[in-house]
Amino acid sequence: MREIINLDLYPLDQPGSAAWQDLIERCKSELSQNGLFNLPGFVRDNALQSAVSDLRPVFDENAFVHERRHNIYFKTSIEGLSNDHPALTQFETSNRTICADQLGQAVVIRLYEWPPFSQFLAAVMGKPKLFVMDDPLARVNVMAYSAGQALNWHFDRSEFTTTLLLQAPLAGGEFEYEKDLRADDNPNYNGVADLLEGRRKPTQMKLQPGMLNIFKGKNTAHRVTPVQGNRDRIIAVFSYYERPNVQFTDEERIGFYGRAS
């Protein structure tokens, strides 16, 4: 794994060591304070170039063009809200998506399945253990955003979201988020409406290729702004859960990937 991860900066291969514990505490502190943390240069440049090179023909020939109109919840309705409530404002999302079953032993799959990676994430998040998904499609996704494409406002279904930027666009494609916009016991529909109608200004961040980004996606609203220029934004998304054997439903797979298997 040393040829993929900069283990000199991020000693994930030394669990329990002083350097590993220092990294855990730093990440915990940033996660608590900011709702996210970043590890710049987590993946080495050569591994990034290899990953993008391997994925390019798959994107060109076999990616699913994901185009859908949705609200921030990815639901057709919310109990207690009228269909015209501004929290249910509809947006367009568009990208090309590659699923885990199309990745073989690509760099992102090797990283996802490497046990010290999930052990590190679990320690930062204060979880006893994190499990990889059983879902053959959803466990790892890689998305490419071309000029004009964007990932619009949404909340994630999992508590934490783990992403790795493989390639940055020439312009645009910036990550925007509103930390803790809702809570498990407070949906804060008015706050959501304020964000969607421009009365709240989200935090904006430009990720760098090779940067690992972990954030609290379940209650943090987030989006990716439209890409500009002729270089795609390519990002991998890793899905871990606190319980084993998690899978999407056929309906969810069809909605995200255009196929159930």
Per-residue pLDDT of 136-153, as tens digits, reads 999 999 999 999 999 999
226 vs 173: CA distance, rounded Å: 5
Which residue's structure tokens are 């890689």? 142
pLDDT higher than threshold 90 for residue 223: yes
How high is the mean pLDDT of the chain? 95
Closest residue by Cα to residue 89 from 160, 195, 222: 195
Instruction: Indicate which CATH number applies to the domain containing 122.
Output: 2.60.120.620
**What is the predicted pLDDT for the residue at 158?**
81
Q: Write out the two tokens for 181.
A: 């916009």
With cut-offs at 50, 70 and 90, classify the pLDDT of residue 255: confident
Q: Which domain holds residue 69?
A: 18-257
164 vs 155: CA distance, rounded Å: 18
Q: Write out the two tokens for 121.
A: 């994430």
Query: Residue 105: inside a domain, yes or no?
Result: yes
- Supply φ then ψ for residue 34, to 5 degrees: -110, -10
Q: Write out the two tokens for 230.
A: 């002729």
Strand order in the sheet with 221-224: 151-154, 221-224, 175-178, 203-205
In this prediction the pTM is 0.93
Secondary element (H or E) of residue 166: strand 161-167
pLDDT higher than threshold 90 for residue 159: no
Query: Residue 124: inside a domain, yes or no?
Result: yes
pLDDT higher than threshold 90 for residue 157: no
As for how many domains the chain has, the answer is 1
Query: Residue 2: inside a domain, yes or no?
Result: no
Q: What is the pLDDT of residues 38-47, one digit of tens each?
A: 999 999 999 9
Query: Residue 82: inside a domain, yes or no?
Result: yes
Query: Residue 13: inside a domain, yes or no?
Result: no
Q: What is the pLDDT of residues 72-128, one digit of tens each?
A: 999 999 999 999 999 999 999 999 999 999 999 999 999 999 999 999 999 999 999
Query: Residue 140: inside a domain, yes or no?
Result: yes
Amino acid present at 243: R
